[in-house]
Amino acid sequence: MRINDRYTFVLNYFQEHMPVAETELHYENTYQLLVAVMLSAQCTDKRVNLTTPAIFHKYPDIVTLSETDFDALFPLIKSISYPNSKARHLISMAQMVRNDFDGEIPMTVDELVKLPGVGRKTANVITSVVDHQPNMAVDTHVFRVSARIGLTNKATTVLAAEKQLIKHIPKELIHIAHHWLILHGRYTCLARTPKCEKCGLTEVCKYYQTLQKTATPS
């Protein structure tokens, strides 16, 4: 199957079966989303959603977060993975937004990655979710699912996978395709025990086809 045909099949499938796809992080504005995404690194969305209400109550905006200190913030995020570094990054991020960006969270990848604790993946999430920019955030789910299906070819880094995905996905679909791949990886194409029997993509999935070829005849 040609790569373009594979993408067409996958995108058409998701458009039909998952027309609404969005982040499972709870947020009400860009500030809250940025905090939640920073906390979500190496941590589940469920755990983040249990943690952020107390943070947003005590620090409702960039200014209040920028004025706090480690000892005050740490107890609120101690159940999150890597709480020490994340607490420091959150405070430093807020201070930079306040001082260097007039209190407004920037909306370009190049500017966002200047913020402490904000990498390319986080910047891609913010710009695609908030502004629907054609940026593809590649997390572990996106990386695994796109490789298994065959949307990426021998991509050994997340950046390589990102470049291949945005090359073939129409710009107007990139922001939602990110969520399609994440949710498919989270609930169907699981890392250890993928639910191939419930997957509608087996017809074009390289991983599934390989499993079929190697299966021992009964």
- Residue-wise pLDDT for 155-208, tens only, equals 999 999 999 999 999 999 999 999 999 999 999 999 999 999 999 999 999 999
Residue 145 φ then ψ, to 5°: -65, -45
> Residue 105's closest CA among 122, 82, 88?
122
* Residue 179 lies inside a defined structural domain of this protein: yes
Which residue among 105, 131, 157 closes a domain?
A: 131
The three-class DSSP label of residue 57 is helix
Residues 144, 163 within the same domain: yes
Which residue among 131, 156, 184 closes a domain?
A: 131
The arithmetic mean of pLDDT across residues 38-45, rounded, is 94
* Residue 200 lies inside a defined structural domain of this protein: yes
Residues 201, 141 within the same domain: yes
Residue ranges at the known binding site for [4Fe-4S] cluster: 189, 196, 199, 205
pLDDT in tens, 85-125: 999 999 999 999 999 999 999 999 999 999 999 999 999 99
Q: Is 121 a catalytic residue?
A: yes
Residues 166, 92 within the same domain: no
Residues 127, 140 within the same domain: no
Token pair in block for residue 176: 């939602």
The residue annotated as part of the active site, out of 58, 69, 86, 121, is 121
* Residue 66 lies inside a defined structural domain of this protein: yes
pLDDT at 150 over 70: yes
Per-residue pLDDT band for 216 (boundaries 50, 70, 90) equals low
Domain count within the chain: 2
pLDDT given for residue 214 in this prediction: 81
Residues 34, 121 within the same domain: yes
Residues 69, 115 within the same domain: yes
pLDDT given for residue 212 in this prediction: 87
* Residue 218 lies inside a defined structural domain of this protein: no
* Residue 183 lies inside a defined structural domain of this protein: yes
> CA-to-CA distance for 181 and 175, rounded, in angstroms?
11
Residues 103, 156 within the same domain: no
Look up the domain containing 198 and give its range: 3-20+136-213
Which residue among 66, 96, 131 closes a domain?
A: 131
Token pair in block for residue 160: 């390589």
Residues 63, 127 within the same domain: yes
Percent of the chain with pLDDT over 90: 95
Tell me, what CATH number does 48's domain have?
A: 1.10.340.30
pLDDT given for residue 85 in this prediction: 97
Q: How far apart are the first and last CA of the chain?
A: 28
Residues 120, 180 within the same domain: no
Residue ranges at the known binding site: 189, 196, 199, 205
pLDDT given for residue 213 in this prediction: 82
* Residue 162 lies inside a defined structural domain of this protein: yes
Residues 127, 183 within the same domain: no
Q: Is 5 a catalytic residue?
A: no
Residue 102 φ then ψ, to 5°: 55, 30
Residues 117, 72 within the same domain: yes
The arithmetic mean of pLDDT across residues 59-85, rounded, is 97
Residues 39, 117 within the same domain: yes
pLDDT at 82 over 70: yes
* Residue 25 lies inside a defined structural domain of this protein: no
pLDDT at 217 over 90: no
pLDDT at 218 over 60: no
Tell me, what CATH number does 172's domain have?
A: 1.10.1670.10
The residue annotated as part of the active site, out of 71, 139, 171, 198, is 139
* Residue 198 lies inside a defined structural domain of this protein: yes
